[in-house]
Structure 1
Amino acid sequence: MLRLTRDGSLEATTGELIDDAIGRLERLTADLEALRDGAVPTEADILRDAPGLDQWSVAALAVPCLVGRTWGHPTLPGTGRPIRTSDIWVMAEDHGAVRTISRQYRLGRPADQAETALS
């Protein structure tokens, strides 16, 4: 997660980290587009250079997200509906915004300052 400070600078990160994230997302996008178009990973064309993983199992990875009550959400109707966002990519509290992997959110009051439900 990248954290944007009040003055607009990125906290504890560099342009290199952003470039790395962009590269990873571009490679993921290309792989997903290839799958959509019918390409299946094979030893001959994709997997020959991939690292191996032995004695593997599926696990869960905790990622930062927000929970709260939404308003104006494009796919979740209603006001004050409790939600959990997708994982946070850029946190910009001082700017009243957060960017998750799926969308931007305008931030209202933090939970510790909210006295009543959003109206």
Structure 2
Amino acid sequence: MSRTSLVQRLRCLADDLECVGKHDDAPSSAVAINTWALAQRSVPCLIGRTLGHPSVGDGRPALSSELFYFDPERGIARTMSRWYRLGTRVDPDYWTERLAGRS
């Protein structure tokens, strides 16, 4: 990613985080994520089945980009890439078992 692209993405992230609380919900463009759990790569992220994601088919498992804002009370999260509307939460073991091929 170019420096200019990174700056634009971070600026968009900062603008979105500044607006948290000024609106009741995530924007209508937010991607829905169900059967989600907090996961970790080298940074915190979400893992779950998305709905309305621009490049992941509906219901397919996805690992998000870095998680910057997480508010389960409001049902929203903001990663480097986009907003998510949080659906059903699952225990992280749900995904550990599925990714290991046990279910």
Question: TM-score of the superposition, structure 1-length normalised?
Answer: 0.42
Q: Which of the pair has more CA radius of gyration?
A: 1
Question: TM-score of the superposition, structure 2-length normalised?
Answer: 0.48
